[in-house]
Structure 1
């Protein structure tokens, strides 16, 4: 097997979600089978582990539906969304990461951006990412953060968050389960995705430092790195999960505490911006390379096409002999003068960032959708549809 194919095989084995400490713990207890990731069983198990005991207890004590003592559990949308939407989303997101990330990294070799001579160094970068993923200390930090945060919340919980669980002075089973099971479970999965985002960023930064063979005239306008535009979609379930939980908590405040939706607009914008920046930031590590590519390509192509233009002028305007067999004028790669102009324009249009409107939209939609639904909820559906029909018809 030649070095390039061997490197491709190693790169295809890279994963953000396999072989770390959390993966091995879940496999040891049987949640992850010997083959595959056990996505469906884990999503169902974790969501029911958090949600079902709360519902059974609330139903048995008359706190599930309106009409009972205090606020009903049904109205605490954040609890239900956290268990039934956010937790499964973060588990299902692992399947997307397992499929997309190795393909994106393999494209560096397949497209020739990582040449055969550079493959060993590229493989070492990937191997370094695997070693970093397999270390225990990130999970020790995650565990420590979850313990500290859980302890802090236990000492001073948000009164509104556990209002449905009964007397605030005496903790009930529902309150304990929410604080000791649901929140820590969600926090572990949330921080696991934050760590995966950091890990992907570290690997991309190390790749960006390699002497990559970017193509100035590539039609994707980013030197051939356009395939990386798919990478932010891997974190779409994560951003959707976070946004859903926060938006659901705000929906409870709007419904039960008369908080006006417009008063939340600033917080909504800030949350969306934070999520978009977090997911988009890893791709910005290639900006220095793209800026350098454009700067050098404009100089190099400027020299090449200037010489080509002078020879065209000498041949056709000055009538100079001896240029009929000139290699530059007869080169298929350059073609006619119009083709050289197109070539130079493609160089001048190189973008400094891989992000484009499509990528930003793919990042922004999961981050903003739950909040947009909350905003839309303040408008009467019937009247809104009638107005839309009036405008359209």
Structure 2
């Protein structure tokens, strides 16, 4: 009975510690609090589907409705709006992807963080340090200054969008020309002041929260973790951490759609060669991989140090064991025989498999195989944009090489 009670207490204690380690990436902060007070989100439910409908309606549907009165004009703008890749990519797909990603990111990061305790990779003596690190991260997540900076970027995007739209051709849905003077249409004004800043704000907010998570991982990497060189995952027991970027597939897809829309628009206005598209896609893929490699690179040092120390220890132990085996087989050591050494009692152990497993251990948590879903999310929008004008076989060949080579 006492053992059962003790086990229950230990289980409850572990569960409590795991709760303290929760990092809810999509909760907290002024923007979340505003949505909560408006009953758009709840502490236990992000109401993702409802929010997608609301935000996409505000960003994409309203400008569409504002183009309807132009059907009576000589040059209606409805068709121009529906055939422009920009609104589709940013206001419809991009914003929907950002909001849908919030649930996936939050669930994915919570599982990865909890695994540090479930493994258990963190010694009990360091649980307090981890809880402190998580608390600091939550404060950064909820920072008013950080979200104010995101809002400032959104305001800057308003100014840039206003200047860009004023230079748009007269056939654009966002601009009408009276005489020689361009004027924004109602749909253009709405996009400048609502749609574009909403896209930029959600993007910047998502990037900031990832940077907060990245710093938390780097803090954990500095701890004396319970790593083991012969772990079957080949990463010392940390392979699960290297898979966290896949929680960001939808977020990366949303950002890439916005970027690819700019490429598609440029392609409509001029020639875009396969070589140029390849360069753009390769540069974007490297940027995305670097974005996720930053937090994961912190684990390379402890993994490399463990591998080096384990190999040296195994090598030294193997020398002792093999010399003992040599004495047993032929009666003495051929090189540097030692009477004191010969009197030692040593149990034979085969370290070959352990040594080979340790030798194969990789200190890099970032690799193409584990990040393939994220890489695909980053490149597919560009491939679609390129295939609209370039031979699809050549575009597919570029996509295949970047993903698999």
TM-score by length of 1: 0.86
Cα deviation 1:170-214 (Å, max 9, x = unaligned): 222111011101100001110011101101111011101111121
1:63–1:70 contact (8 Å) kept in structure 2: no
Range that drifts further, 346-355 or 371-380: 371-380
1:290-305 correspondence runs (5 A): 290-305=303-318
Cα deviation 1:279-321 (Å, max 9, x = unaligned): 232211111111211121111121122222222222334389x
Q: 1:328 aligned to 347, 372, 397, which one? A: 347
1:276–1:367 contact (8 Å) kept in structure 2: no
Residue 356 of structure 2 corresponds to residue 355 of structure 1: no
Q: Which residue of 1 aligns with 2:19?
A: 9
Cα deviation 1:245-285 (Å, max 9, x = unaligned): 2212322333x424334343322322222122112322111
1:102-251 correspondence runs (5 A): 102-155=110-163, 157=165, 159-160=167-168, 163-167=172-176, 169-251=182-264
Range that drifts further, 283-292 or 305-314: 305-314
What secondary structure sits across from 2:52 in the alignment?
helix
Residue 356 of structure 2 corresponds to residue 370 of structure 1: no
CA distance in 2, matches of 1:40, 1:70: 27
Q: Which residue of 1 aligns with 2:269?
A: 257
CA distance in 1, matches of 2:81, 2:14: 58
1:49 Cα deviation (Å)? 0.8
Residue 127 of structure 2 corresponds to residue 101 of structure 1: no
2:288–2:378 contact (8 Å) kept in structure 1: yes
Range that drifts further, 118-127 or 224-233: 118-127
Q: 1:69 to 1:44 in 2, by over 3 A?
A: closer
Q: Which residue of 2 aligns with 1:50?
A: 59
1:142 Cα deviation (Å)? 1.1
CA distance in 2, matches of 1:30, 1:296: 55
Q: How many residues were matched structurally?
A: 374
Q: 1:63 to 1:108 in 2, by over 3 A?
A: farther
CA distance in 2, matches of 1:226, 1:63: 61
1:380 Cα deviation (Å)? 6.2
2:78–2:173 contact (8 Å) kept in structure 1: yes
CA distance in 1, matches of 2:296, 2:69: 51
1:4–1:116 contact (8 Å) kept in structure 2: no
What secondary structure sits across from 1:213 in the alignment?
coil
Residue 352 of structure 2 corresponds to residue 341 of structure 1: yes
Q: 1:117 to 1:316 in 2, by over 3 A?
A: farther
CA distance in 1, matches of 2:384, 2:330: 66
TM-score by length of 2: 0.83
Cα deviation 1:225-246 (Å, max 9, x = unaligned): 0111221012211211111122
Q: 1:149 to 1:54 in 2, by over 3 A?
A: closer
Q: 2:85 aligned to 63, 77, 87, which one? A: 77
2:94–2:257 contact (8 Å) kept in structure 1: yes
2:218–2:298 contact (8 Å) kept in structure 1: yes
Q: 1:19 aligned to 24, 28, 42, which one? A: 28
Q: 1:312 to 1:38 in 2, by over 3 A?
A: same
Range that drifts further, 281-290 or 1-10: 1-10
CA distance in 1, matches of 2:353, 2:117: 28
1:280–1:363 contact (8 Å) kept in structure 2: no
- Give structure 1 stretches of 5+ with no counterpart: 386-393
1:357 Cα deviation (Å)? 3.0
CA distance in 1, matches of 2:72, 2:310: 68
Q: 1:144 to 1:248 in 2, by over 3 A?
A: closer
Residue 47 of structure 2 corresponds to residue 38 of structure 1: yes
